[in-house]
Chain A
Amino acid sequence: AQSVTQPDIHITVSEGASLELRCNYSYGATPYLFWYVQSPGQGLQLLLKYFSGDTLVQGIKGFEAEFKRSQSSFNLRKPSVHWSDAAEYFCAVGGMDSSYKLIFGSGTRLLVRP
């Protein structure tokens, strides 16, 4: 079955510290992978995407993610977190055979300590 797992429900980091949010997927074909961010009371904003090619992708707001096929992972990273990064983060998977649909993880809520 196709699925996305975000094992951390909450993560708390101090401002200026590095961040890694985990994402594992199960998908039968070549996956297209996405990270979205949702600020309180808002819709989802696309942070970055992976379709093919270089497995390290850069996104907006200083985020990056690395696709590791052997581990079925697409972890999100940021070297130095800002207080404004506090939000909920969703990993999603889609593909050429997905009928346009994305499968979302359950989300990770990031809290930033001053």
Chain B
Amino acid sequence: DVKVTQSSRYLVKRTGEKVFLECVQDMDHENMFWYRQDPGLGLRLIYFSYDVKMKEKGDIPEGYSVSREKKERFSLILESASTNQTSMYLCASSSGTGYSKNIQYFGAGTRLSVL
């Protein structure tokens, strides 16, 4: 089974702090994604990466950056956390070929509270 692991289930940070959310997948997937989930809004794509050191903006990239130095790891960075970034963050991965690239596997999520 594909395993996508997010390093923290819950995080509490202060406004202005730099926050790192880490995600690791064990299936050698090319594609990795960061989503933000808010009630009534579903999942919104923040950034995705289709290869090491490659990244593309999703629908709501403002206030976020990402890093992918190794294939298995995709980090989401909040340079200066703000209260409106309080949310559930979900990481996902998919393989790079054919239909499979559309099948995303998700981690358990990180619930971030910014105070």
- B90 close to A (CB within 8 Å): yes
**A-B pairs under 8 A by CB, number:** 60
Bound-state Cα–Cα, A16 to B104, Å? 31
Chain B interface residue bracket vs A: 20 to 34
Query: Is the beta-carbon distance between A98 and B40 smaller than 8 angstroms?
Result: no
**Closest residue of chain A to B32, judged by CB?**
A100
Contact A46-B103, Cβ < 8 Å, known A99-B56, A100-B94, A101-B58 = yes
Docked Cα-Cα span, A100 to B9, in Å, equals 26
Nearest chain B CB to A53 CB, angstrom units: 11
Interface of B is mostly: strand
Check if A100 sits within 8 Å of B31, measured CB to CB: yes
Complex Cα–Cα for A98 and B59 (A)? 13
Given contacts A44-B90, A99-B56, A100-B48, contact A106 B41 (CB under 8 A): yes
Q: Say whether B64 faces chain A, with CB atoms less than 8 Å apart.
A: no
- Chain B residues engaging chain A, CB cutoff 8 angstroms: 4, 9, 31, 33, 35, 40-45, 48, 50, 56, 58, 90, 92, 94, 99, 101-109
